[in-house]
Amino acid sequence: TPDAVFLAERSGAGWREATYKEARDRARAIAGGLLSLGLGVGTPIVILSGNSVDHGLLSLAAQYIGAPVVPVAEQYALIPTARTQIDHVCSIIKPAAVFAEDGDALADVLAREAFSGVRKLVSRGGAGDVHTLSQLAAAGGDISDVEARIGPDTIAKILMTSGSTSSPKGVPTTHRMMCVNQTQIAYSLPFLATHPPLILDWLPWNHVFGGSHNFNMMLANGGALYVDGGKPTPQLV
């Protein structure tokens, strides 16, 4: 179902929607651009921004070439007093690239010493040596050789623990782990095979529930994930 919606987010009064064909083509093109920057297996990409279509496409692009994505809690970048957590994450992850949706809004975060010498990726904005996802997609390139070497035990993402009891720790997630998870879900919820799910979801992608369980459940069953930009608080619901 190439024309079915896979990912969507609010855009003005409507929605920005990416179909399965658009998502696949765009992710593969971005993957080629990432390769041109020297990224690939063993080169982590820290993601500072919250859920979005571009966040999802970058994650898939990275998975095509074996670059682990490391989505961190959105508040680490948005709350100045929490930014030391970013420094801690970088000290143990040693990222090769960092992504911020809005390069202008998070310019001071991208300028931190933790990201010195690290490739800067943005959707828009940003100063200095930054690379937009559109530029990466335009650069493109053949990814087939690298893609062929990605296997079940290749690390797809590194999820950080919450840090509620100590400093955050990195938990590697392989392609095999994500696929086994979806097989378990398919056995438990067989209706997904005949009724592709459509969800409106706010759960953050730096956690397993939103970023692996829900995101991949749409991908595995031809469903659609509409990003809810709100939060479950009285002010933001």
Closest CA to 122 of 59, 71, 67, 47: 47
CA distance 12 to 2: 25
Tokens of 214: 């829900």
Section 188-213 average pLDDT: 95
Q: Are strands 14-19 and 97-102 parallel, antiparallel or unpaired?
A: unpaired
Q: How far apart are CA 38 and CA 96, in angstroms?
A: 9
Maximum Cα–Cα distance across the chain: 50
Q: How confident is the model over 10-65, as pLDDT tens digits?
A: 999 999 999 999 999 999 999 999 999 999 999 999 999 999 999 999 999 999 99
Backbone angles phi, psi at 102, to 5 degrees: -110, 105
pLDDT tens digits, one per residue of 151-165: 999 999 999 998 777
